[in-house]
Copies of this chain bind each other. A is one copy, B any other.
C-alpha cells in the first residue's frame, strides 16, 4: 500500500494526497476529509525512506555513544534516555551508534550514508577525530563536552571545574585540612578527557585558595578499583575527606571506607559530582552536585534542532553548574 493507492481510492492525484498529509498546500475541506478517511481506513503511513529521499532529510537524529566495551556510567545513561525522549517529543527518531572503539563503521555509515539530519556526540575527547570528521562532513552536530578548539562548535557541558571547586570549599568550610580528589582513570586523564582535566584544575586551585592540602588519585571505573582506591587514600596521613567524579567507583569507595571501620560522615567525609540517583542510593546518601543529565540531554537536542534549522547561525552552548545538594555524607572534620 502506498500513496498511489490512497489517491486512487480517494479519487484524487498523488500530489493532492501528499499535500493533504503535509498541509503545504490548501486542500478543499471535502477532498481533505475524503483522503483522511481512506488513510484512516487503511492505516496508511508514508514510507520513511521514500520521504527521506525526496525531501532530503531523514527526520532522524544520530546519537553517538561511547564504545560498548566500557559500561556506560549512570550519567551517560541518563543522556541517552533524555535525548531519545526529547527527540520523540519533536517526532524525531534516534539512531544510536556505538563509536570510538575500533569499529567506526557505524559512525561512518551515519555520516556517509546521510542517515541522519544531525548528530549528538557523547563523551568527546579534548582532541577528538570524530569531531574533525563531523566538521568536514558538514552535518550539524552538538557535543556533550567541549573540545580543544570549540570555535564554531555547539555544545553542552558540566562545569566540573566550578563544581569541584565548590566541593572543596564546602569541605574547607567544615574544617577539613587535607582532602583528596578521586578522579577517573589514569588513561582517561592522560588522554585529555575534559571532565577529568577540569575536575583536577578546579580541585587544585580551590585547595590552594583555601589553604587545604590536596592530593589526587586516579581510579578506574569500577567498584573493586574504588575499594582499592579508598584503602590507598586511608594510607595518606591526615586525610579526612574525599571528593570524586567517578560514578562507577563510588560504591566501591564507600565499601572500602566501611571495611576500614570508618563511618560516613562522622569519621570521614565524601562528596562528589554524580548522577542524583547514584547519590541517593549510597549509604549514607551522598552530598553531591547532581549532574543534570536529563536537562543536558534535552538541551542538546534543542541546540541541535536550532543548528539544523539555521546552520549558519552563530554557535551556541550551555554550561551547567547545579548547586550542591546537602545530604548525609559530609560533616565537620573529626577532632583526633
Please state if A258 and B277 are interface contacts (CB–CB under 8 Å): no
Are B283 and A113 touching (Cβ within 8 A)?
A: no
Q: Which residues of B contact A108 (CB under 8 A)?
A: 45
Q: Say yes or no: A65-B84 contact (C-beta < 8 A), given A47-B114, A93-B95, A106-B93.
A: yes
Task: List the B side residues contacting A109 at CB < 8 Å.
Answer: 45, 48, 91, 93
Q: Given B65, B88, B114, B254, which contacts A48 in the complex, CB threshold below 8 Å?
A: B114
Question: With the chains together, A47 CA to B224 CA distance in Å?
Answer: 46
Query: Which of B84, B112, B224 sits near A96, CB closer than 8 Å?
Result: B84
A257 to chain B, nearest CB (A): 10
A281 within 8 A of partner (CB) = yes
* With contact pairs A65-B84, A84-B98, A255-B283 given, residues A47 and B53 touching in the complex (Cβ less than 8 Å): yes
Is A165 located at the chain interface by the 8 A CB criterion? no
Chain B residue at smallest Cβ distance from A107: B88
Q: Of the candidates B60, B85, B251, which one forms a contact with A283 in the assembled complex, judged by CB atoms under 8 Å apart?
A: B251
Nearest B residue to A62 via CB reads B93
Contact B85 A68, beta carbon cutoff 8 Å: yes
**Chain B residue contacts of A222, Cβ below 8 A:** 277
Q: Is the CB of B114 within 8 A of A281?
A: no
Contacts of A96 in B (CB 8 A): 84, 93-96
- B49 pairs with A58, CB closer than 8 A: yes
Q: Is A169 an interface residue (CB 8 A)?
A: no
Residue contact A112 to B43, C-beta cutoff 8 Å: yes
Asked if A12 CB lies within 8 Å of chain B CBs, one says no
Q: Chain A: interface residue count, which band? A: 35 or more
Q: Which of A44, A52, A91 neighbours the largest number of chain B CB atoms within 10 Å of its CB?
A: A52
- A16-53, CB < 8 A from B: 43-53
Q: Is A231 an interface residue (CB 8 A)?
A: no
- Smallest distance from the beta carbon of A63 to chain B beta carbons, Å? 8
Say if the beta carbon of A97 comes within 8 Å of chain B.
Answer: yes
Known A53-B53, A71-B81: A105·B88 in contact at CB below 8 Å: yes
Q: Is A280 an interface residue (CB 8 A)?
A: yes
Q: Is A115 an interface residue (CB 8 A)?
A: yes
Contacts of A85 in B (CB 8 A): 68, 98
A-B contact pairs, 8 of them (CB 8 A): A47-B53, A47-B113, A48-B113, A84-B97, A88-B103, A223-B277, A251-B283, A283-B283
A residues apposed to B, CB below 8 Å: 43-53, 58, 60, 65, 68, 71-72, 77, 80-82, 84-85, 88-89, 91, 93-98, 103, 105-106, 108-115, 222-224, 251-252, 254-255, 258, 277, 280-284
With A93-B109, A251-B282, A251-B283 given, name 17 new contacts (CB 8 A).
A44-B112, A45-B108, A45-B111, A45-B113, A47-B113, A47-B114, A53-B53, A60-B95, A68-B82, A71-B81, A71-B277, A88-B105, A93-B97, A94-B95, A95-B95, A254-B283, A283-B283
